[in-house]
Chains A and B, each alone.
Chain A
């Protein structure tokens, strides 16, 4: 019997690789090993319904435990893989236990960037990645009055919205001049700033945190570089992530801003693949090597690598898409807008329904939609199929995107 496939990491990417291998009728052993104690679960609800207390663990599980037995997936939780022996084709666990592989998939994700300043280790400073951390935030939110969120990115803003929905006094402190600036243009940042301010959140941009002060070991206030203080009994930090490249690095595999892979999601070793948050891949839509932190990227790369391992060698070419829910506003993003030189807008910020179409030269490269779901979905269909849309067509509200997208047929998304 073959040693089969070993998957390291039980997040969305690791789970989906195992599930897709079985869906591809892969018959060899599958071993899915992860550091987290829980069976695989979804992360997106953690900063939304789960933090609000509306969803429990069962509702965020990707599949019930029985799924893994039924599909002959050897799921090993609470175990960290410490080393890869490429010559022997095996991985070693912290416990000393070893597993051989024929193919290895590294899906170890990323970890939160931590604050490195005075007071950063005080009690009452929370980060969000795992379901345990989400449970801490959920429980602490119940008794908190003043919440300061450090970082005006997706996670920070989603949690700020949760805290405000629960009636807390909320401040968001962002180092850059505008919200979510790594991912969206000024118009969208401003739209969301107004949403948050309108709900009673104080949004402070261009503000660097210089220290956190506390008493009796607990955080009490966030000190900004201008000397001002924001009182807090709960501080939530969302200042980005660092890809987990160490396992690959230790095995001598090439690493850039993530584990370096080619279009087949293969590392420098033909038997080792890397996918999801931890991997840097050549993206046709971005025209560059990028690393993405999203469910879409994790699930689509997992599906692709599973096809390859099952014998249908497949290059990765899925269109990136993403969403965020803040209060009742949903932002849907399709494609990669970075590098655009012109934009066309449908709808308006005033109406609360808005899509921005991003063009690089004549080519549509991305669409951001607020409460215009059809633009988003049709955009995904058009861009996935590389079907051209002109700026004039994008600007003309009466031009039916659905009509154009139907030329693609139903096969693509």
Chain B
């Protein structure tokens, strides 16, 4: 299974093996990573699963659609160049090693 590394705003590192097809958001919730809130349940209506994708991986992800781009504009911590909604990142084999950093707040 591809491995995803979550780094909290405080610097805590968690490595999780994520089944292909699972989103980075739902893997975080299942594994007790509190920095992801996911208030709307993954339908691009809130920004509470915002992550900063490590630069090495950002270009390997399928690009964000217009809806996700719009939601990133309301993120509680201002979006950066590599910001994504983790509910929109479905893990593939090619993403093995993916690193995401969590913002200090989601609301």
Interface residues, chain A, with chain B CB atoms under 8 Å away: 16, 23, 42, 44-45, 59-60, 63-64, 66-67, 70, 295-296, 299, 303, 321, 323, 325, 330, 332, 373-374, 376-378, 380-381, 402, 405, 409-411, 413
Contact = CB atoms under 8 A, between A and B. Distances in A.
Instruction: List the 5 closest A-B pairs by CB distance, nearest first.
Output: A410-B78, A373-B70, A413-B74, A374-B70, A377-B70
A63 B34 CA distance: 10
A410 B106 CA distance: 11
Contact of B67 (A373, A378, A411): A373
A405 B70 contact: no
Interface string B72-97: 01111111000000000000000000
23 contacts: A16-B39, A44-B41, A44-B43, A60-B41, A64-B29, A64-B32, A295-B39, A321-B45, A323-B45, A373-B66, A373-B67, A373-B70, A373-B71, A374-B69, A374-B70, A376-B70, A377-B73, A381-B73, A405-B73, A410-B77, A411-B76, A413-B76, A413-B107
B107 to A, nearest CB: 6
Contacts of B56: none
B26 to A, nearest CB: 7
A410 B75 contact: yes
A374 B39 contact: no
Contact of A378 (B44, B73, B75, B107): B73
Given A295-B39, A373-B44, A413-B47, 6 more contacts: A23-B34, A63-B29, A323-B45, A381-B73, A410-B76, A410-B79
B100 to A, nearest CB: 19
Contacts of B75: 410, 413
A143 B79 CA distance: 47
Contacts of B69: 373-374
A57 to B, nearest CB: 13
Contacts of A64: 29-30, 32
Interface residues on B, range: 20 to 34
B40 interface: yes
A70 B33 CA distance: 11
Given A44-B41, A325-B43, A413-B76, A377 B71 contact: yes
B66 A323 contact: no
Interface of B: 26, 29-30, 32, 34, 39-41, 43-47, 66-67, 69-71, 73-79, 107
A349 to B, nearest CB: 19
B70 A323 contact: no
A23 B37 CA distance: 11
- Prevailing SS type, chain A contact patch: helix
B32 A402 contact: no
Nearest to A44: B41
Contact of A295 (B34, B40, B67, B77): B40
A381 B73 CA distance: 9
A22 to B, nearest CB: 9
A376 B70 CA distance: 8
| Most chain B Cβ neighbours within 10 Å, of A45, A63, A377, A405 | A377
Nearest to B40: A295
A374 B71 CA distance: 8
B66 A374 contact: yes
Given A377-B73, A381-B74, A332 B32 contact: no
A366 to B, nearest CB: 16
A126 B47 CA distance: 34
| Most chain B Cβ neighbours within 10 Å, of A45, A295, A410 | A410
A373 B85 CA distance: 15
A306 to B, nearest CB: 11
A61 B52 CA distance: 25
| Most chain B Cβ neighbours within 10 Å, of A42, A303, A373, A381 | A373
A413 B78 CA distance: 11
A70 B71 contact: no
